[in-house]
Amino acid sequence: VTRKMDMRAGERSWARTSVLCLGMAAVASAAGASPAAAAPRTTAFAASGAVPSARTVGLGLRQGVSRAGRSAVGKVLMSSTEVDKRAERRRIISNPNFNRNFLGKDTKEEVEGMMVEEFTSDLVKELIDQSYVIERDDVTIKLAKSYGFCWGVERAVAMAYEARNFYKTEKIHITNEIIHNPGVNKRLKDMQINFINPDSSGVKDFSVVEKGDVVVLPAFGASLEEMQLLDDKGVRIVDTTCPWVSKVWNAVDTHKKKDMTSIIHGKYSHEESIATASFAEIYLIVKDLEEAEYVANYIINGGSKEEFMKKFANAHSKGFDPEVHLKKVGIANQTTMFKDETKAIAKLFERTMLKKYGPETLTDNFLALDTICDATQERQDAIIELIEDKSIDFVLVVGGWDSSNTGHLLEICHLNNVKGYHVDMADRITADGSIEHRKIDGTIEVTKNFLPKGALNIGVTSGASTPDAYMQDAIERIVMLKKLEKA
């Protein structure tokens, strides 16, 4: 029997979450398949380049793994022995030291209590009970009907907490931020979990990781190179990768089987796109519809290869040639991208391949599988519904400034001419009436006296990596400013 967590309407239980996670993981990763036979090997990491399907026999590790080089991922030095990437991943996750589930009943229940205490919100519960609208001191607060922690993020944070409780004395590392939320990541650092973040040159230093240590893989996933390195080191792995991310990895594997180039809608420097690219064979990453249109035009009309390669210098696989590798394409995406744009990009390439090669061969030249995360889509749909209310003065968006899915919520406001303020933490709203917020171009700006005088009507939402308690803190600061206005 598991204690229910009041983190959403309907009080989702951890039991339900665990069942969902296990089910999705089985579908997304096909982990039950027979792993490839293991052989003595070592991975050598260079500072840049893509991942050939190869492993090197013998010992000779470099401890740095780059995410900033030519293809934004590390490189496994080539050998004569090719390895199927999906089979290699299955081999690694079949290791007894690789854990993808909660570690024990007692620690899991202890973590549930911690999560309830730290992350839930009485104010948010009241909003739900009052049909998502309440009033406080001349402030009408309207909450989007889908917001905050998704179950994949919830699961990842809970597993990281549990790892610390389960492995009480072992050194624990995490290969990146667990999620894009500064408060949650600080909490993990306070638990003495070591973050292996890239340095200014984009290289992660794994030399601090020793055999027997515990390594947590974040919700975004980890690249194949990192998984190989950690496997070679003989560490214990707690894999919190969201099953929706694993689903995208399966999509790029399907592209490979069909001899297609994976067109990945994402940001080439984002951890999730780096991981996805590492499981692809030939890939090109486009950040938006404008870049996709450039590629589509090249397919139809040709152009300067030199210009093309320069434009996508950090966003393609090793050996990618636009004159060779754009004849058959499959679409994948970073799960946190703007869903309507991903759909538009898929339609664009479908029309492009139809025009270039005709309807007879379309199924051979084009493939688009549904890899848009449900949680991302639901939050985007909910904010679109919220801003239909023209009485709203502005929307407060709460979530990490480096959170892609949160940034898109602000973008939707901007595209619909609705004022929005994106804060990562409540303390960006200060007692002098100022707000420090992120704009859609990524710059940080301080706006003084941001609250209009008199009665206020605000919309509120939060990204998939944002605990309800953090959103409550931000709302309460706005209410307090209105109280001070009347004092």
Query: Phi and psi of 182, rounded to 5°?
Result: -65, -35
Tokens in use for 30? Answer: 């096909």
What proportions of the chain, in percent to the nearest 5, are helix, strand and coil? 40, 15, 40
Read off the DSSP letter of residue 34.
Answer: P
Alpha-carbon distances, residue 297 vs 66, 303, 318, 332, 361 (angstroms): 32, 8, 22, 19, 19
Find out whether 184 and 141 touch, Cβ atoms under 8 Å. no
Find out whether 155 and 244 touch, Cβ atoms under 8 Å. no
Rounded-to-integer distance, Cα 148 and Cα 286, Å: 27
Residue of 263, 261, 268 lying closest to 282 (CA atoms) = 261
Residue of 149, 164, 155, 159 lying closest to 119 (CA atoms) = 149
Tokens in use for 480? Answer: 């307090």
Rounded-to-integer distance, Cα 135 and Cα 308, Å: 54
Size of the chain in residues: 487
Catalytic one of 162, 272, 281, 341 = 272
Find out whether 265 and 322 touch, Cβ atoms under 8 Å. no
Query: Could you tell me which residues come within 8 angstroms of residue 64 by beta carbon, excluding any fewer than 6 positions away?
Result: 45, 47, 203, 204, 205, 206
Rounded-to-integer distance, Cα 437 and Cα 451, Å: 14
Query: Could you tell me which residues come within 8 angstroms of residue 463 by beta carbon, excluding any fewer than 6 positions away?
Result: 148, 180, 181, 379, 397, 398, 399, 400, 403, 405, 406, 409
Q: Is 272 a catalytic residue?
A: yes
Rounded-to-integer distance, Cα 474 and Cα 435, Å: 11
Q: Strand locations in 169-310, DSSP E?
A: 172-174, 193-195, 203-205, 214-217, 236-239, 261-265, 283-286
Query: Could you tell me which residues come within 8 angstroms of residue 314 by beta carbon, excluding any fewer than 6 positions away?
Result: 68, 69, 70, 71, 72, 268, 269
Rounded-to-integer distance, Cα 57 and Cα 209, Å: 22
Residue of 126, 134, 238 lying closest to 178 (CA atoms) = 238
Name the region of 316 (left: φ>0; alpha: ψ -120 to 50; beta: rest): beta
Alpha-carbon distances, residue 230 vs 68, 209, 216, 451, 485 (angstroms): 20, 8, 11, 50, 56
Query: Could you tell me which residues come within 8 angstroms of residue 74 by beta carbon, excluding any fewer than 6 positions away?
Result: 45, 46, 49, 51, 65, 66, 67, 223, 225, 226, 278
What is the set of active-site residues? 272
